[in-house]
Amino acid sequence: MTNKPFAGKVALVTGAASGIGRASALAFAQQGAKVVVADVNVSGGEETVRMIVDNGGEAIFVATDVSRAAEVEALVRQTIAQFGRLDVAHNNAAIEGALAPTAAYSEEDWDRTINVNLKGTWLCLKYEILHMLQQGGGAIVNTASVVGLVGTIGLPAYCAAKGGVVQLTKAAALEYAKAGIRINAVCPGATHTPMLNRLMVQPGAETGMLATIPLGRIGNPEEIAAAVVWLCSDAASYVTGHIMVVDGGMIAQ
């Protein structure tokens, strides 16, 4: 008997070179999955693979820009070629985009942010689902955000994209439930990641953010990863189309 619920399963994680994606990849590996690490950041992605292998796990890195259909299709194809199957996926790759109000946002910044965060999530879903339909099922978790549910100042494209991920998750969950594919999303709140660090450069930014979080602290990537892994596990076998907020109580107010 094994106490590793993902033993014999294959997990694909995008945006896995750092932050929540890396924590998710490590968590799947710790629970027995073979992991495909995908990111545009080659050095970070390869480091995630090394961390998994050093802990006795099995993983490969595939450099992938999720905004490009051919690269996402190749990512799923390489996953199958290497490991023979795809059981679970965490579509996590995202960028924060430019920090500017709506009327000052450039078209280029808007398109780039939407292409990575929303189109990229859709492309990952598309090619993962196409394989899972042949395989007879699977589980997928998309990373949305609390700002996909409530607004924030200065990140209009990010908010729009993450709100789109929420609705895309629900639509896809309904479409493929009868095919045995469960599709859910996590909405992280403030979490210690490189992205948050880039957004919190102003003096007093962290103090101001902490004041909005009832639990009184910023979350860790491992706490988001735990939710992702649970949603992909058999323990969540009756959960699909769910948008799980993991934010220390921030948007309960």
Q: 78: which DSSP letter?
A: H
Radius of gyration of the CA atoms of the chain, in A = 17
Point out which residues pair with 244 in neighbouring strands.
186
What are the residue ranges of helices labelled H in the chain?
A: 19-30, 42-54, 69-83, 107-114, 120-135, 156-176, 194-199, 205-210, 221-232
How far, in Å, are 98, 115, 141 from residue 85 at the CA level?
37, 27, 17
CA angle (28, 30, 31) in 5-degree steps: 65
105 has catalytic annotation: no
Query: Which among 105, 127, 158, 176 is annotated as catalytic?
Result: 158
Q: Name the 3-class secondary structure at 227.
A: helix
Closest by CA to 88, choosing from 135, 158, 157, is 135
What are the residue numbers of the active site? 158
